[in-house]
Amino acid sequence: MDKLYACNGMALKMYRLADGKRIGFAVPSACSDSPNASLVWHDAWADFTTDEKRVTLDALQSFIQQQVGTALVTVNIWAP
């Protein structure tokens, strides 16, 4: 593989507690827009070195934080 992207699927659903009405919904993009040059590919998690696992998990965590931020902006809860 020549390009690796951080990917994760999520949806944010917001409900009003008083009556259970859904008042917000967002589905951020599942994959990042640009490849991450620091990521490597192996067929099994056990094949990753400790460093490769750390870099992969850090990239995924960073991408998930971006997704959550995008979702919160979409439902008008947060403006960076």
Domain residues of the chain, as ranges?
Answer: 12-74
Going by pLDDT thresholds of 50, 70 and 90, the confidence category of residue 1 is: low
- Nearest Cα residue to 38 out of 57, 19, 20: 57
Which residues, 6+ apart, have CB-to-CB distance to 6 below 8 Å?
31, 32, 36, 39, 59, 60, 62, 63
Residue pair 8/30 in contact by the 8 Å Cβ criterion:
yes
Average pLDDT over residues 35-40: 91
Q: Report the amino acid identity of residue 15.
A: Y
Looking at the predicted structure, is the pLDDT value of residue 27 above 90? Answer: yes
**Two tokens at 44?**
């099994």
Confidence at residue 53, expressed as pLDDT on a 0 to 100 scale? 97
